[in-house]
């Protein structure tokens, strides 16, 4: 029977009885049931309020239940709830146009996907077909999504241009706090990381490398801020060897860093840009690839061997248009920048001064990570059991955190006010002080 919304225990039991959850052993799961949300807050079925410092999976940039976005989805559903990707549709054309208004010069085409992983799949496919090369260089400390086998398992002709499950090469990127290059400054770390990247390109054979794939700012890996020199150097290496630079903006894009796209911080122009999450705050699943003109031109006469049933789904498209328009008219990107500069950054720095457990804080906009350590001298990560206890304490105090490894990521919605940010940071400080 259908489970009527009632209380936490009932909903959790109904969920774990039948829902198979991501990235988890299923046996001991007790997911928090969420009944509703508004702005930066959500409520469980027992009525407890949480301040969301996670934006779920760092995607609810515009906050919960933004009325303009909800209305746009309702109106589109009432008019045309679904239409296939081969048809022309007003909402889809408008969504592409709104996204392109925030893309770099020289980008005039968008390929829509259902989320981030398939955006990456298709960006890689475009780079491979455009260059006629195979390998993709990405970083060890990165997350790009959870697909890859589906098209190779496919039996019909669509498999053949896509049989490329091999050819992935990884490099270490800059990470000054735990430098892989024995560096003592961010500049030295960047310079050596770049040399490592170029030597890898040469050793692998430049004529075999289709793409260098980099998150604009590695997110799940720890909001590891690159220097502009590293990103500009990677751009130069890609250009020098005829390699496409794919910048993954799935997590960092659409306001999170206080700019529309995070790569703008570094003064570079990618060849392909992947996006999802913040483009519509996940109100309807959506993602895509922004395609620079030379790559788009490759497919003027040549068939692009890729597609998805729900590419450019009208409900997703209507939500993208409404989200971007609301972000523009309400100054949401600017708000993210200001909150980072005036509240989160200074408060985290001050906390790190006071508390030995904080090894480093880093970030920009509403995209921050605090690295927790057992010993500031050795930088030994705080053990998982302690991180679990911290997570529980934060939730008991009404904060929804984003915890990864030994880090607390401070990633609230971009619409957060200074007061709300202060409230959440005070909870973090209290929990870390009392542990």
Residues 176 and 153: their CA atoms lie apart, in Å, by 40
Report the residue number, 270 or 420, with the smaller CB distance to ligand PLP.
270
Question: Which residue number is nearest to ligand PLP in terms of Cβ?
Answer: 116
Closest contact distance (angstroms) between CB of 307 and ligand PLP is: 17
The answer to the question of residue 57 lying near ligand PLP (CB under 6 A) is yes
Report the residue number, 251 or 358, with the smaller CB distance to ligand PLP.
251
Q: Which of residues 69-128 bind ligand PLP (CB under 6 A)?
A: 115-117, 120
The answer to the question of residue 250 lying near ligand PLP (CB under 6 A) is yes
Q: Which of residues 253-272 bind ligand PLP (CB under 6 A)?
A: none
Chosen residue from 33, 176, 219, 288 binding ligand PLP by CB under 6 A: 219
Closest contact distance (angstroms) between CB of 58 and ligand PLP is: 7
Is there a contact between 420 and 40 (Cβ–Cβ < 8 Å)? yes
Report the residue number, 249 or 420, with the smaller CB distance to ligand PLP.
249
Closest contact distance (angstroms) between CB of 244 and ligand PLP is: 17
Residues 130 and 300: their CA atoms lie apart, in Å, by 12
- Cα 144 to its chain centre, rounded Å, is 9
Report the residue number, 117 or 238, with the smaller CB distance to ligand PLP.
117
Q: What are 386's two structure tokens?
A: 């302690």
Closest contact distance (angstroms) between CB of 70 and ligand PLP is: 21
Q: What are 179's two structure tokens?
A: 């430098």
Closest contact distance (angstroms) between CB of 39 and ligand PLP is: 22
Q: Which of residues 270-329 bind ligand PLP (CB under 6 A)?
A: 276, 287
Closest contact distance (angstroms) between CB of 136 and ligand PLP is: 14
Helix intervals (H) in 176-283: 186-204, 228-240
22 φ/ψ angles, rounded to the nearest 5 degrees: -65, 145
Residues 259 and 336: their CA atoms lie apart, in Å, by 8
Report the residue number, 62 or 425, with the smaller CB distance to ligand PLP.
62
Chosen residue from 121, 189, 198, 248 binding ligand PLP by CB under 6 A: 248
Which stretch in 47-55, 138-146, 158-166, 188-196 sits in contact with ligand PLP by CB under 6 A? 138-146
Report the residue number, 282 or 381, with the smaller CB distance to ligand PLP.
282
The answer to the question of residue 144 lying near ligand PLP (CB under 6 A) is yes
The answer to the question of residue 251 lying near ligand PLP (CB under 6 A) is yes
Report the residue number, 123 or 237, with the smaller CB distance to ligand PLP.
123
117 φ/ψ angles, rounded to the nearest 5 degrees: -60, -45
Task: Kindly tell me the burial class for residue 414, based on how many C-beta atoms sit within 10 Å of its own C-beta (0-12, 13-18, 19 or more).
Answer: buried
Report the residue number, 347 or 363, with the smaller CB distance to ligand PLP.
363
3-class DSSP assignment, residue 402: strand
Is there a contact between 93 and 277 (Cβ–Cβ < 8 Å)? no
Residues 391 and 403: their CA atoms lie apart, in Å, by 7
Helix 116-131 / helix 293-301 crossing angle, nearest 10 deg: 70
The answer to the question of residue 148 lying near ligand PLP (CB under 6 A) is no
Number of residues that bind ligand PLP (CB under 6 A): 16
Residues 211 and 153: their CA atoms lie apart, in Å, by 23
Scan for tokens 């700019």, then name that residue: 259
State the Cα angle at 288 between 238 and 402, rounded to 5°: 90
> Which of 161, 159, 104 shows the shortest CA–CA distance to 130?
161
> Using CB under 6 A as the criterion, which residues of the chain lie in contact with ligand PLP when the complex forms?
57, 115-117, 120, 143-145, 215, 219-220, 248, 250-251, 276, 287
């Amino acid at each position: 029977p259908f489970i009527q919304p009632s209380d936490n225990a009932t909903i959790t039991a109904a969920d774990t009885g039948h829902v198979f959850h991501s990235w988890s052993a299923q046996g001991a799961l007790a997911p928090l049931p969420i009944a509703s949300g508004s702005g930066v807050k959500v409520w469980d079925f027992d009525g407890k309020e949480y301040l969301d410092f996670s934006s779920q999976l760092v995607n609810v940039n515009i906050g919960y239940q933004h009325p303009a976005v909800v209305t746009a989805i309702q109106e589109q559903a009432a008019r045309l709830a679904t239409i296939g990707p081969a048809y022309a549709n007003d909402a889809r054309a408008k969504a592409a146009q709104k996204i392109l208004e925030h893309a770099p010069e020289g980008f005039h085409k968008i390929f829509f996907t259902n989320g981030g992983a398939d955006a990456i799949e298709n960006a890689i496919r475009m780079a491979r077909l455009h260059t006629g090369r195979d390998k993709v260089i990405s970083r060890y400390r990165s997350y790009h999504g959870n697909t890859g086998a589906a098209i190779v398992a496919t039996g019909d002709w669509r498999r053949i241009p896509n049989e490329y499950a091999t050819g992935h090469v990884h490099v270490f990127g800059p990470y000054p706090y735990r430098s892989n290059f024995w560096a003592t400054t961010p500049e030295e770390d960047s310079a050596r990381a770049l040399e490592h990247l170029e030597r890898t390109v040469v050793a692998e054979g430049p004529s075999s490398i289709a793409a260098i794939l980099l998150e604009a700012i590695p997110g799940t890996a720890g909001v590891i801020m690159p220097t502009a020199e590293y990103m500009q150097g990677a751009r130069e290496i890609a250009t020098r060897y005829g390699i496409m630079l794919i910048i993954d903006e799935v997590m960092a894009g659409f306001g999170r860093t206080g700019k529309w796209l995070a790569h703008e911080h570094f003064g570079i122009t990618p060849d392909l840009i992947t996006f999802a999450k913040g483009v519509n705050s996940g109100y309807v699943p959506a993602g895509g690839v922004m395609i620079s003109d030379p790559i788009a031109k490759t497919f003027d006469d040549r068939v692009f061997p890729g597609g998805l049933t729900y590419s450019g789904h009208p409900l997703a498209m209507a939500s993208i248009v409404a989200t971007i328009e609301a972000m523009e008219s309400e100054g949401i990107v600017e708000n993210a920048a200001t909150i980072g500069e005036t509240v989160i950054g200074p408060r985290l720095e001050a906390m790190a001064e006071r508390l030995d457990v904080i090894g480093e804080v880093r970030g920009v906009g509403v995209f921050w990570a605090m690295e927790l350590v057992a010993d500031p001298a050795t930088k030994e990560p705080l053990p998982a059991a302690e991180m679990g206890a911290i997570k529980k304490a934060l939730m008991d105090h009404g904060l929804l955190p984003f915890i990864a490894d030994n880090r607390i990521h401070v990633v609230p919605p971009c619409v957060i006010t200074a007061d709300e940010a202060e409230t959440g940071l005070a909870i973090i400080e209290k929990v870390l002080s009392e542990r």
